[in-house]
């Protein structure tokens, strides 16, 4: 029993110490995971965009709820760009993600920052603040896509 408890504790510590990429059983899973997180984020971002552009009536509560989802989802994809996940699935990820990791990290951090600002802006209930933060967030999506995503 004691040995079992020790082994369990060791396994737990080991799993905590492992790189994020090791959280995925297969490369394919990491690719699917990051694409899924980005897809869900895009869906919720688009709902805010509809309000920001006037295609949908502005509802502060709906905007705030969607922005919270966007800000949460924005944190997720990056752990799934681990070493060796450049190939092994259907991906548009450019090799530069792995060859220019500091730049990629900067771009992903920027998204996390901008989406947090978007969530804060949405909580004010002010449409102009939402429009401004929406544009800034969209700019960070685009900058990263231009640099790191194949067509």
Interface residues toward ligand ASC, by CB under 6 A: 42, 45-46, 49, 138, 141-142
Least distance from ligand ASC to the Cβ atom of residue 28, Å: 22
Least distance from ligand ASC to the Cβ atom of residue 29, Å: 22
Of the pair 92, 142, the CB lying nearest ligand ASC is at: 142
Least distance from ligand ASC to the Cβ atom of residue 142, Å: 3
C-alpha atoms less than 13 angstroms from C-alpha of 55 in its C-beta half-sphere: 6
Of the pair 85, 140, the CB lying nearest ligand ASC is at: 140
Decide if 118 contacts 64 (C-beta within 8 A).
Answer: no
Of the pair 27, 48, the CB lying nearest ligand ASC is at: 48
CB proximity list for 125: less than 8 A, separation 6 or greater: 60, 64
Which of 40, 74, 71, 67 has its CA nearest to residue 124? 67
């Amino acid at each position: 029993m004691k040995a079992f408890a020790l082994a369990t504790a060791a396994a737990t510590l080991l799993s905590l110490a492992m790189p994020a990429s090791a959280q995925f059983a297969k490369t394919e899973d990491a690719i699917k995971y990051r694409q899924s997180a980005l897809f869900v984020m895009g869906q919720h971002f688009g709902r805010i965009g509809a309000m920001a552009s006037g295609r949908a009536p502005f509802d502060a509560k709906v905007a705030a709820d969607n922005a919270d989802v966007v800000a949460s989802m924005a944190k997720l994809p990056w752990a799934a760009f681990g070493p060796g996940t450049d190939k092994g699935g259907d991906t548009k990820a450019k090799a530069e993600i792995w060859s220019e990791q500091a730049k990629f990290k900067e771009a992903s951090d920027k998204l996390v920052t901008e989406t947090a600002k978007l969530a804060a802006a949405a909580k004010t209930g002010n449409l102009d603040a939402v429009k401004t933060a929406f544009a800034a967030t969209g700019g960070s999506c685009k900058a990263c896509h231009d640099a790191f995503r194949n067509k």
